[in-house]
Structure 1
């Protein structure tokens, strides 16, 4: 039986409790309490201190007997029941001495699969965040609902690693059996959002629902498209299409009814944000939005989106209906097209390729993109990055669970799948040039609208990919990437090197169907990667 978390917190409680407070009042309270500052756009700007992003090394799942053989422990850190109980009592005791803000809503725009979510916050600004990011379900949270999860968010409560079994003062602990999340030591609001996504990634696949770290939009013809991609691949830019309706920007489920947004808001990265390039996001940052860690002139209250003085990971949180061409609640039909986005800094992947169901599994489980030289300390040349299902940090279950669901659904609903490279051509990063965004948009449009169903394809000699020979508005010569390099031998070596990295990464997945393994880069051309 789940804990009566709120009952434990309120037992003997004598401070002020604020429950389901409207956003304008919460903004007033956050300002009065000195938690943030209003910017010239009307957004509330806050600074989160030491932690300006997620802290994956401080995230744990409680190891209970029912989960011991079920979870993907190679990807998730364990914490004992005893350690959880100690942290739980520490957090409860800490919150008893604070004014508290409670939000009660849900996760999941489709009410058939939504789960009640209750969040108990130490800070008013974090209560604004969850109120804007989750689904406001009319405050129908049932304290006895067996599916309800409660988050206790106590940034000021720190752990002692020697006593509490953590690695630092910060901790994010999910207890599936007791249906509670403990967050302490970190002020970064994204931990609340991603904890619920991790929970949905555990619960929904058991109902034959694929959970996806992707954005989604819908055209005037009601056809739905999904966009998967890691940071820097263009997922947000390409899905924010003024000619299509935004369903959601980050987390979705795919059931027998179609797709649905898990959230009710957006959490956009806003470094280098401009009105010219992303007008919809720019206009959404207004009263009721929360800006995290954006540099601001204290005298004028003007923000500087180009500044990374605090962090590169500057963020804006706002409800999805702040985007004019959005759908709320975020529900759509079965996707007709899926796009996997990658920014290949090696310059060797084709700008667009059509994937078979087996290849869709392969590239879904690979979740490839590349980090660029200079983006992180010590990176002097492009580095391959693989994140299973384009969201490994949020997967409690083995990747094959999600990949099998993907294959089942794209086969059942005849969904096209394309791999689109938004990275480099004509050479590696620093030698070649980035693929034109105008060309990428035309390829995305051709894929979504079915135009590529009626062209001829050739097979890439190394990556075993079906590459279209023509795409309207895109030069034929760039479709096969080897044609853009001046040195064919250099292309061959770079392509073989990346193919080898794909094989090395994929070898860690056990019990993989042979037809999926064989759908990756050709084995005989992959260079050995140490």
Structure 2
């Protein structure tokens, strides 16, 4: 078999090749090769060793003539010289010659007008099962004519030499838009494959008038659509998996002139603390065919979702059709409601607040949240951070490209935006408590159902956000975060501290309209 990239070199795979195996066959292969074990619920459990989250400092884009002037180069989008990448590919060709590999052909993008045909080459069977369940699986007829436009080569054991390859370490996640190839080496963390294609889509789709979004999406009985923006750990998957609504997708979507569509064919749920009572749909989706990543098993091989001894970033990957009543294919109309999810480690933002269009743009560009333990290498406890557009690690183009597209679509379709704090209340991390999931669900449902349109609002004196005075199913004293602190002077001090961080971050946006700039904190 010859695996061709956009240009030379081609990969002549002389070893044993497993092409488009079923989930059952891949489970058998993973067990045969001792890559994982079967959990008591039937899921395949695998561990990833040193890397239990993404390695953003090891991510590169090849700086060639195609992308040189359109990428937002910097610490997020680090350049890699074309000759270094080609040298890496040449060594990879030799490395793969006699390897036993697993190949998946599929798509990213549920809307046929915008989908990207992809191929994934893995040296681990469990990685191939992961991508088979996460990306869109083609029909037999589609496989007959499938021509990949982008190829991921995931080879965790491939030796990277920083002095030779121009990398920071022995780990690399590098994408070439000229070669149309992604190389992932030196890490076993499966999420790198998923996020690499997301980054590719984030570069390609704006040229087609489509806004790529780091968000989950669901749909009500009447066809009304809600989007949930937020970084890992803020609750996108949990809040969008609502038994009263149909899941469109849990993490990555596009918004075209026709509506929204899922990039993926599966879900990648963070499952630390998972319980059947709080998250029944996710709980029931973890069964044969699913992949448990870094989840500890007890002596009876039952998953212990409370055990974070390997990492707090434990994950479950499963096909979206494991969620009852999911929207398949994942295509729907324009959204009615957008919810920006933030896990505020300061504990000062309201649990829910209504935004003006200007405030929506301000908070989209700010993308404030807290990195949660384990989601990235080196993060051991929540850290306050700003991730522009709620997805800066995955956005190759300058932020204003995505922000302007979102602003136009919000205005065009009259979308109401809410900011939802799924983080801490009653104090900062270490003192306060994590927001009660049941209360958050009630607030989100009230926003989606229009119940919050019928209540009065007060204005937060520091952040200028409109806080509802009441919400069905939620204690009214919880809705104003200042009321939940024992010492209100400490709250005021912490709120002003966070406001200063907002101002500091937003100062980088020089061309933002004055009305948007003034929509931030007032002190």
TM-score, L = length of structure 2: 0.92
Q: Do the aligned partners of residues 69 and 438 (structure 1) sit closer, same or farther apart at CA in structure 2, a change above 3 Å counting?
A: same
Q: C-alpha distance in 1, partners of 2:445/2:323?
A: 21
1:9 aligns with 2:11: yes
Give secondary structure in 2 for the equivalent of 1:304. coil
SS at match of 2:317: strand
Within 1, Cα distance between the matches of 2:252 and 2:5? 27
Deviation for aligned residue 1:126:
1.3
> In the alignment, does 2:284 pair up with 1:283?
yes
Instruction: Note if contact 2:225-2:334 (Cα within 8 Å) is conserved in structure 1.
Output: yes
Residue of structure 1 equivalent to 2:243:
242
Which digits, 9 at most, give the CA deviation of each residue in 1:142-195, with x for residues without a partner?
9995x8101111122121111111112211110011111111122211111110
Aligned position for 1:331: 331
Q: Which is further off, 81-90 or 420-429?
A: 420-429
How many Å separate the matches in 2 of 1:7 and 1:289? 35
The 2-side partners of 1:434 and 1:267 are apart by 22
| Alpha-carbon distance between aligned partners in 1 of 2:499 and 2:306, rounded to the nearest angstrom | 36
- Are the equivalent residues in 1 in contact too, given 2:5–2:151 (CA < 8 A)? no
What is residue 171 of structure 2 aligned with on the other side?
A: 170
Q: Counterparts of 1:405 and 1:375 in 2: how far apart (Å)?
A: 28
Which residue in the other structure is 1:407 paired with? 407
Q: How far apart are the structure 1 equivalents of 2:70 and 2:416?
A: 31
User: How far off is 1:296 after superposition?
Assistant: 2.7
The total of aligned residue pairs comes to: 518
Task: Determine the C-alpha separation between the residues in 2 that align with 1:396 and 1:521.
Answer: 28
Aligned counterparts of 1:358 and 1:442: Cα–Cα separation in 2: 26
2:223 matched residue in structure 1: 222
Instruction: Say if 1:473 and 1:25 are closer, same or farther in 2 by CA, change over 3 A.
Output: closer
C-alpha distance after superposition, 1:430-481 (max 9, x if no partner): 4444444333222211110112223333322211212233333334444333
- Judged with a 3 Å threshold, the aligned counterparts in structure 2 of structure 1 residues 421 and 303 are, in CA distance, closer, same or farther, namely closer
**Per the alignment, do residues 230 and 492 of structure 1 end up closer, same or farther by CA in structure 2, a change over 3 Å counting?**
same
What does residue 203 of structure 1 align with? 204
8 Å Cα contact 2:217-2:240 kept in structure 1: yes
TM-superposed CA distance for 1:336, in Å, is 0.5
Aligned 8 A contact 2:52 2:375 in 1: no
8 A contact 1:117–1:141 mirrored in 2: no
Quote how far apart the aligned CAs of 1:264 are: 0.1
Task: Go from structure 1 to structure 2 and tell me whether the alpha carbon gap of 1:494 and 1:220 turns closer, same or farther (over 3 Å shift).
Answer: same
Aligned residues of 2:53 and 2:375 also touching (Cα < 8 A): no
Indicate if the aligned counterparts of 1:201 and 1:396 stay in contact, CA closer than 8 A: yes
Q: Please state if 1:84 is matched with 2:75.
A: no
Mapped contact 1:118–1:141 kept (Cα < 8 A) = no
CA contact (8 A) 1:215 1:250 kept: yes
Instruction: Find the residue that maps to 1:306 and give its secondary structure.
Output: coil
- Is the contact between residue 141 and residue 148 of structure 1 (CA under 8 Å) also seen in structure 2? no
1:303 aligns with 2:303: yes
Distance change (3 Å), C-alpha of 1:396 and 1:342: same
Question: How far off is 1:506 after superposition?
Answer: 0.9
In the alignment, is the contact (CA less than 8 A) between 2:53 and 2:377 conserved in 1? no
Between the aligned partners of 2:187 and 2:376, the Cα distance in structure 1 is: 22
Change in 2 beyond 3 A, CA 1:175/1:300: same
Gap regions ≥5 residues in structure 1? 526-530
Question: Matched residue of 1:221: which SS?
Answer: coil
Helix, strand or coil: the match of 1:464? coil
Once residues 346 and 122 of structure 1 are traced to their aligned partners in structure 2, the CA distance between those partners, rounded to angstroms, is: 43
Instruction: Report the alpha carbon displacement of residue 223 of structure 1 after superposing the two structures with TM.
Output: 0.8
CA RMSD of aligned residues (A): 2.6
SS of residue paired to 1:331: coil
Q: How far apart in 1 are the matches of 2:403 and 2:207?
A: 14
- Cα distance between partner residues in 1 of 2:16 and 2:411: 54
Which residue matches 1:131?
Answer: 132
Give me the whole-angstrom Cα distance separating, in 2, the residues matched to 1:370 and 1:191: 20
Query: 2:375 & 2:244 partners in 1: Cα distance?
Result: 33
1:66 alignment partner in structure 2: 66
Provide closer, same or farther for how the CA distance between residues 245 and 35 of structure 1 changes in structure 2, counting only shifts above 3 A. same
**Contact 1:105–1:138 (CA<8 Å) still a contact in 2?**
no
Report the CA distance between 1:380 and its aligned residue: 11
**1:254-293 alignment to 2 at 5 Å?**
254-293=255-294
CA contact (8 A) 1:172 1:183 kept: yes
* Matches of 1:302 and 1:59, distance apart in 2: 35
CA distance in 1, matches of 2:401, 2:132: 31
> For 1:407-486, what aligned pairs fall within 5 Å after superposition?
407-486=407-486
Q: 1:450 & 1:315 partners in 2: Cα distance?
A: 33
**Map of 1:528 onto structure 2:** none
Look up the match of 2:190: 189
Distance in 2 (alpha carbons) for counterparts of 1:7 and 1:91 = 10
Q: How far has the Cα of 1:284 moved from its partner?
A: 1.4
For 1:387-402, what aligned pairs fall within 5 Å after superposition? 387-402=387-402
CA contact 1:116–1:142 (8 Å) conserved in 2 = no
Between 1:469-478 and 1:118-127, the stretch displaced more is 469-478
2:54 is paired with a residue of what secondary structure? coil
Whether contact under 8 Å (2:55, 2:377) holds in the other structure is no
The separation in 2 between residues aligned to 1:384 and 1:129, in whole angstroms, is 30
